[in-house]
Structure 1
């Protein structure tokens, strides 16, 4: 399952995360952590419409222009600035080219262009008739080698701790109204959803990180160790009530490119297989994700919720119910929308407080690692790599 952003007036755009070298997003955010035995507060400035956004826009020949515009810059403004610097003609369109070659053309009323890109997506501007000539950049393919040796040196708890710390920063920055803007259409409100975009893309990034590392680890014995490691990290995320990363890791391990590693799974100790089976049960979508909802109902904040499910709830509420009946507001629908918004507010109503163990080593290295994950987000490539590592048994 990959979270896909719903475009303002049609289904099917992309996923999220902070930027890559080919489409960087440079925003001024501050991060501070109080000293002491427990982490009590993380500060990060939310992305605002007037924040300066530095990013690259490419041509068909992969030359590019670096633009510096406000976060709420329109599609027309981006095209005009890029065309002036790249000396392009008229009738231009702005397009995202994903790592798998898929192209998504932006509409005039689209906002949050850069934060709404897929993990390895890149922005292109080109004449409409030349769209078919746009191809992914070489760096969009993702890493060519895994980081097994680095992951093995880091404690599972430390990785989960810093994943949670970063997720909490991102989650704390988004406002519950952003869910409404994204589902109802940002152009109706002239509002950005950049903080929600980044948080949702982070879910996809962690999911693909798990798949990427598993598919880039060639020795069977190391793949078994890595699989155990990810299950342990997921367990700690669940303990920290970081349900967003917990589900992302579990879904990464459930991806066909990883789940088909029969030789790898056979060598995993039964203790970990049983633990993972319980994790998958908590993800059971039957009866409207009843298992997950019952578990969350017993939790107290701070909670980092499984955001794609909240987005699904709000989307279904919006699309399955009319906003007006005979010119009158459908208050029942508004109450359901408000309930989802209140859930977001409730989850972050208390500051994050996770005990820092004395054994936590290399904190700076762990922090840098989890905030700069390099992934392959092309499912076809990952599946091919998987079959090469463990060919289908005849």
Structure 2
């Protein structure tokens, strides 16, 4: 689905230059002044059950001023680390922060007297059947915020002691907390996360990748590739397909008609917020998901 990619390229380039008007504004027939927010026109009648579709939350997602919101800098991440007594603290980290670095910060945060080498970072997860799994993380492991799941927690463990990090009662509480449905999530936050993920990929695309893709010059230029051999450009294209099929899957897997209707409205709201972010990539991916044949047959 390269169409979505080319549209998004025009958007991100416009943002990089700090220009309020982009060539993509012509797609929806609007021209926006600098620092103003683009609002997608909604044709036809709107459901009174979703009045927020009439007036998107324009004050929340003002990405038209990159310098004001730090668009060029992916913000730091936050993880929560527990002790065996279930006390916890929040630590600000980056993607390059290692487990050893986290241990050092947490030891200082809790005011522990022992040296940080005495402790290690452990990941505790709970299976749907209630089985508790615990593993010590390597000291040099990074991308900690990306790897933790809803049914998991990070714990600070004293290597010199044998202690139960997560009791059965705590495990059941964690299992309940992990059972979150899509309808419980904020559409603004979902749109923001989609936009940040897309931009994180896009900003790493090298100019030579466009040449390789356009003229089929595989291997001519030394461009970075992931473990599967995909360039950043190809990864960016894959994101479109992932988001498109994610939309259709979430809708079709819901057997309840009322909840399915609410899920459709949720994705429409996400698309609107993505439009406010000028993230046309995700916006058109959601629209494509709503137009897939399996979904249209059940609509």
Range into which the TM-score falls when normalised by the shorter chain: 0.3 to 0.5
Instruction: Please report the TM-score for the alignment, with normalisation by the length of structure 2.
Output: 0.41
Instruction: Please report the TM-score for the alignment, with normalisation by the length of structure 1.
Output: 0.32
Which structure has the larger Rg?
A: 2
